[in-house]
Chains A and B, each alone.
Chain A
Amino acid sequence: MKKILITDVTLRDGNHAISHKITKEQIALYAAAADAAGVPIVEVGHGNGLGASSLQVGESAIDDETMLRTARENLPHAKLGIHVIPGFATINKDLKKALDLGVDVVRVAAHCTETDITQRHINYVRDRGKEAYGVLMMSHMTSKETLVEECQKMESYGAEGVMIFDSAGAYLPAEVSERIEELIDNLQIPVGFHAHNNLGMGIANSVAAAEAGASMIDGSARGFGAGSGNAQLEVLVAVLEKMGYSTDIDLYKLLDAADIAENNLVKEIPRIKSLSIVSGLAGVFSGFSKPVERISKEYDVDPRDVFFELGRRQVVAGQEDIIIDVVAKLASQKKER
């Protein structure tokens, strides 16, 4: 039976859905439940990862240290994972401390064509004897040939695997299969996939990835993640097992964990709202939905127009400031009319 390595991103991607306001109690509760279910890797942190609490993206309710310490105490078996974007987190300020606190798995992320910024962080994690994976965010923005070149760079830096993220929930299953196959043909290391559900393809795309040979897949409880959420973890595991893949996760206990998430941290179960569809079609990062809604309302412009304009400008995660620029321009155009 082919094995799929699952990373549970509920406590990281889900943080986007509550404007990064996850509490210590919520982390403790869910981490313990996921651990009991046998989830192999539990990722924790601000939505944009380590060192990303900011006015630009949103301030965390509790600091990175408290999040990691709490998770560590409640993960007796599972590995503790973090998401790290160079440009937000530095080795000296953030990464060193995170590893000291007991992080086992570090996924170093860059936008699809910028992987060379991950080199020092990947090297550092490997030098400390921890697991390092490379992540390409917003992977729909570039060709499969470029994805191969970028992933080969991360392989050469010492990444033990690479993940492509569908940060905007923009892919259809055939596009996922094509990319995963191309990567597998050209890399020696395992390949993985992280879905968003903007176009209702979260599970379908994850299945397509597994069928194309991906051996690492992300999911979150009830799909709790940015925008319309991720692949719903308990569905993902059930479907993969039904298809004959093995995840080593206890389904009953995972369903319990999902119920705990629903009752204790999911403010609103992610669903595909009108704006999520627009964000998926425009190819804009799912994490933009909350600030776009808020700022569009403040300036009285149509948030759908804002998403399409952001898509035209090809914005990436970390460019939340552009929302104000776009909204202000649309507002002044509206006044002129």
Chain B
Amino acid sequence: MKRLKVAILGSGNIGTDLLIKIMRSPYLECSLFIGRHLNSPGMNKASSLGIKISDLSIEAIEKDPDCCQLVFDATSALDHKKHWPILKKLHKNVIDMTPSGIGEMCVPALNIDHCLKYDNVNMITCGGQSAIPLTSVIGKTQKDVEYIEVVSTIATRSAGPATRINLDEYIETTEKGIRKFSGCTNVKAILTISPAQPPIDMQTTIFAKIKKPDIPHLREEASGMVRKIQTYVPGYQLVIPPVLESERVVMMVKVQGLGDYLPKYAGIMDIINCAAIAMAEEYAKKIGQVPDEVVS
């Protein structure tokens, strides 16, 4: 049985890390790795791994539509807006890694089965993937949630140029995701890029204002959710379980990466890429792909 053929559009940090993770997947095979410059670090990495590469951007898929069934778009929100109409016409399934906000928002721990119905699935943002499952636990276990705030800090080297240029979209898409999955309408997302050397691990803190917080119930459900996330993001840890600090409910998560393309501090890669791969594998299973021996 063959593995599902996927193409990666975008040869930056996210795209290149995805490639390395896909090569370990028993369900997926990267048939084309697409960028804009043959000499970029990501393209060099892909060629050194024996992967077919192209510098034609979206045209590479237009010219050879049979190269893949599923496309990971790891470019930028603005680029995805241009890519989507083309990919839709070619009947490709798309997993959008950018905060474009076009596709159905997907958090594997919460709605992976629901997302199988959609041809464009959006992975929201790294901060969204780390925080939204816990904000949904807040929504589920607490009454009268007045406000939720999510603050993520990432290391400078782990934020590539597209992440930086997409900062506003990052914030707005993360907020949209929190609203959808927590049910709380008054929300805020903040992102800080830390210049510290050596770099810090990705960290996300969730704050909430709740009229009468039920901390024991929240703790119990949060730790269950963390275990669920750890099945696809091994480096996800709840470092401060829910506590009440000066009338704010606070919990803090650290994400250590697998160290595939960027070092382990770049949990930002792992949280969103592991989520995207969980989604793609689920899709492969749905259309009847069975696990293949991984040749490495």
Interface residues, chain A, CB within 8 Å of chain B?
54-56, 86-88, 90-93, 110-114, 116-117, 119-120, 138, 141-142, 294-295, 298, 313-319, 321-322, 324-325, 328
Contact = CB atoms under 8 A, between A and B. Distances in A.
B168 A313 contact: no
Contact of B192 (A87, A92, A295, A328): A87
Main SS class of interface, B: strand
B209 interface: yes
B142 interface: no
A114 B195 contact: yes
A119 B153 CA distance: 20
Contact of B193 (A93, A117, A294): A117
A116 B240 contact: no
B172 A92 contact: yes
Nearest to A112: B195
Interface string B200-219: 10010101010000000000
B180 interface: no
Contact of B252 (A110, A315, A321): A321
Contacts of B188: 54
Interface in B163-184: 164-165, 167-168, 171-172
Given A54-B188, A120-B168, A319 B245 contact: no
11 contacts: A55-B248, A56-B151, A87-B190, A87-B191, A116-B165, A294-B246, A314-B196, A316-B194, A317-B192, A319-B194, A325-B203
B156 A114 contact: yes
A130 B201 CA distance: 38
A138 B147 CA distance: 30
Chain B, interface size category, equals 20 to 34
A111 B194 contact: yes
B85 interface: no
Nearest to B171: A90
Nearest to A116: B164
B156 A113 contact: yes
A110 B153 CA distance: 14
B78 to A, nearest CB: 11
A56 B207 contact: yes
B195 A324 contact: no
B240 A325 contact: yes
B168 to A, nearest CB: 4
Contacts of B192: 87, 111, 316-319
B125 to A, nearest CB: 12
B200 A313 contact: yes
A314 B195 CA distance: 8
B149 interface: yes
B193 A111 contact: yes
Main SS class of interface, A: mixed
Contacts of A314: 194-197
A315 B196 contact: yes
A325 B252 CA distance: 8
A328 B240 contact: yes
A88 B190 contact: yes
Contact of A93 (B172, B207, B239, B245): B172
A321 to B, nearest CB: 4
B250 interface: yes
B50 interface: no
Given A93-B172, A321-B252, A325-B240, A116 B194 contact: no
Nearest to A291: B246
Minimum-distance CB pairs A-B, first 6? A314-B196, A321-B205, A318-B192, A55-B207, A90-B168, A113-B195
Contact of A318 (B167, B190, B209, B250): B190
A148 to B, nearest CB: 16
Contacts of A116: 161, 164-165
A328 B245 CA distance: 12
B149 A55 contact: yes
A269 B125 CA distance: 43
A98 to B, nearest CB: 14
A111 B153 contact: no
Nearest to A328: B240
Given A90-B172, A315-B194, A324-B245, 17 more contacts: A54-B149, A54-B207, A87-B190, A90-B171, A93-B172, A111-B192, A111-B195, A116-B161, A116-B165, A119-B165, A298-B245, A313-B200, A318-B151, A321-B151, A321-B205, A321-B250, A322-B153
A324 B167 contact: no
Question: Among A87, A117, A119, A142, which residue has the most Cβ atoms of chain B within 10 A?
Answer: A87
Given A56-B151, A113-B156, A117-B167, A87 B193 contact: yes
A284 B91 CA distance: 53
Nearest to A317: B192
Contacts of A318: 151, 153, 190, 192
B190 A56 contact: yes
B165 A120 contact: yes
Question: Among A91, A111, A294, A321, which residue has the most Cβ atoms of chain B within 10 A?
Answer: A321
B1 to A, nearest CB: 45
B203 A321 contact: yes
A322 B194 CA distance: 12
